[in-house]
Structure 1
Amino acid sequence: MQSPLELTDQIFSPPAKHEALRDEIYCQIMKQMTSNNNRFSIEQGWQLLWLCCGLFPPSQSLLRHAQKFLESRRREPLASDCLQRLQSSLRTDPRKLPPHQVEVDAIQQNSTQIFHKIYFPNDTDEIFEVATSTRIRDLIQNISKNLKLASADGFSIFVKTHDKVLSLNDADYFFDSLRQITDWSKQAKRIKEGGPVNIVYHVFFMRKLWFNVIPGRDAKADLIFHYPQELPKYLRGYHVCTKEEMVNIAALLFWVKVSGDKNQIAMIPKVLKELVPGDQLKAMSENEWRKNIVTFFNKQAGMTVEEAKIAFLKAVCRWPTFGCAFFEVKQTSEPDFPDIVRIAISKTGLTIMHPKTKSVLANHPYNKIANWCSGSTYFHMTVGSLVKGNKFLCETSLGYKMDDLITSYVNMYLRERTMQTRGQRYNM
């Protein structure tokens, strides 16, 4: 027995790739539904036609006939929806891939509304309606509006599979992106395990680009995204900070953990790993940490948990590494650097750091990076000019993330420059 998705793949994969086959699919479905007395067959035909109208339109020569077919069957439950989808597909680019499992499941249950769960960094989630023609940028705007965020800039949709977290391209269709990622994962897993595979994935909405992030300016964004995304980086010891800063932050984090309950002070030594960067735990004895944290903790009187979280962000945003994405890689091109280095990618460029001392080994602003590329086991970049530039080579399984992040920041600056140029022309 073939699954419904395997069948829809057989029908829609060829016309998604080859425009010349699209009219043939429309003709075959409409022909199957003409003078057909089998009600079950008719219903399945409508489901296929509904999927088809959302993927791509027929050619101009067939369009009038397809519209007449739908208009003459208005009593059918899906006819008017098919007509709407057909009109919509005429105004947009055709989809590149066959329907996703979610779309097939929805129409098989006679639901023309498709909902998808979106997860957030603060361990909450919400259901959002996603249409066949929804692009990633539409979904980003929709989620931002729903959450009442001050701006959608810098946010992105990510898909997490068993082995990867991939950021989706703003211009792509949501279901095409999902389809591409789940197909890649299936293929890789099938090669590894053999036989049929099932891919579990989750869709996340998170901040990707950290520019114009000023803690306290958008409390919603701070609490849902900035705090839960920055806290793990702090506790992993990625930042350079003083003892006093660490004690102050530890008091704020403990306030968040116990909701300001002073009766819980005795448990500080047990939860130190959740309050202090991992590499700094031995900087003081447990008793010293407790004593110093209590002093700062008592100064927080009257503060809410939300205020404590924003105070944490206000403390860490002063550091140059705030908002950076960190990658531990093995470098093979710089003899004066240690073999393992930490790379921090931020709005200003790429910084290479010593993983233990956290000292800066090299700074490369985006306008000095000539090119970059990545593969499943490496990340390479050229600093300076393409001809005389220095190559920086490293081994990492996260090269795809580094590549995507640098590309996104560079594209952001290119967009800004284009808008400024247009503005100057307009003013002239």
Structure 2
Amino acid sequence: MNMSYLVFFMRKLWFNVSPGRDLEADLIFHYPQELPKYLRGYHLCTKEDMVNIGALLFRVKSNNDKSQLIMISKMLKDLVPNDMLKAMSATEWQKNIVAAYNKQPGMTVEEAILAFLKVVCRWPTFGCAFFEVKQTSDPNFPDIVRIAISKQGVAIIHPKTKDVLATHPFNRIANWCSGSTYFHITVGNLVKGNKILCETSLVNTCITVLFVCLLLFFYC
């Protein structure tokens, strides 16, 4: 039996990504990777943004079937960040998303995907690799924080408020090492630098992303 396969590789480095420049990349790589981050609530955004994005995602989810607008309240987990679902009642979300949908110009599913990417690419956390970790370095930070690795460096984010607690550019990272369930990063210099100690089950993935970003930062 002959079978054909399509193999898609995930984008690890989000350097010089501009939605609209390569529509095929937007559809195959950027949208499938950025949508889960948005729905998991990793980005800090306004309620207005969430309503407008909800209308765009409805177009994609329903394949532009306007008759499904009455079902929006049942589709919210696919339209609104998980941590914001209770910011309004399901009825209010539906009312606001329908209103945003009606204000938007007619567009295809592909155009809705591109419009979504053009909104999220304005946010500083666009393209970040996120990791939920347990930190034991700073008593002023929550025990569980979110590490965001991007072309700017490493940011430590409060998982509930999404406030940036600290930012460490790559040129300030002096060293890093890891074990099976932890990693630590030395910021500053090796003698008097501050150590960030984190525990996570995704050590290998986190360190790989960090290492590749550091290589690109220093050698490209």
With normalisation by structure 1, the TM-score equals 0.50
**Distance in 2, Cα, partners of 1:339 & 1:231:** 27
Q: CA deviation at 1:285?
A: 1.0
Number of equivalenced pairs = 218
Superposition pairs of residues 145-294 of structure 1, within 5 angstroms: 205-294=9-98
Q: List per-residue Cα deviations over 1:37-91 (Å, max 9, x = no partner).
A: xxxxxxxxxxxxxxxxxxxxxxxxxxxxxxxxxxxxxxxxxxxxxxxxxxxxxxx
Structure 1 counterpart SS, 2:213: helix
Superposition pairs of residues 371-410 of structure 1, within 5 angstroms: 371-410=175-214
Question: Are positions 1:119 and 2:119 aligned together?
Answer: no
Runs of 4+ in 1 over 3 A off after TM superposition: 115-118
| Root-mean-square deviation over aligned CA pairs | 1.4
**Distance in 1, Cα, partners of 2:185 & 2:219:** 22
**Distance in 2, Cα, partners of 1:325 & 1:413:** 16
Letter in 2 for 1:370: A
Structure 2 unaligned segments of length 5 or more: list them.
none
**Distance in 2, Cα, partners of 1:117 & 1:286:** 40
The counterpart of 1:299, out of the listed 65, 80, 103, is: 103
Q: Is the 8 A contact 2:176 2:186 kept in 1?
A: yes
Structure 1 counterpart SS, 2:140: coil
Question: Are positions 1:340 and 2:144 aligned together?
Answer: yes
The counterpart of 1:325, out of the listed 107, 123, 129, is: 129
Q: List per-residue Cα deviations over 1:118-154 (Å, max 9, x = no partner).
A: 532xxxxxxxxxxxxxxxxxxxxxxxxxxxxxxxxxx
2:159 — aligned with what? 355
Q: CA deviation at 1:116?
A: 9.4
Structure 2 counterpart SS, 1:217: coil
Structure 1 counterpart SS, 2:146: strand
Structure 1 unaligned segments of length 5 or more: list them.
1-114, 121-204, 417-428
**Distance in 1, Cα, partners of 2:68 & 2:117:** 24
Structure 2 counterpart SS, 1:250: helix
Letter in 1 for 2:176: W
**C-alpha distance 407-357 of structure 1, shift in aligned 2 (>3 A):** same
With normalisation by structure 2, the TM-score equals 0.96
Question: Are positions 1:312 and 2:116 aligned together?
Answer: yes
**Distance in 2, Cα, partners of 1:266 & 1:404:** 44
Q: Is the 8 A contact 2:170 2:217 kept in 1?
A: no
Higher relative contact order (CA 8 A, sep 6+): 2
Letter in 1 for 2:7: Y
Superposition pairs of residues 41-60 of structure 1, within 5 angstroms: none
**C-alpha distance 293-384 of structure 1, shift in aligned 2 (>3 A):** same
Task: Give the fraction of aligned pairs with identical amino acids, expressed as a percent.
Answer: 71
**Distance in 2, Cα, partners of 1:351 & 1:267:** 38
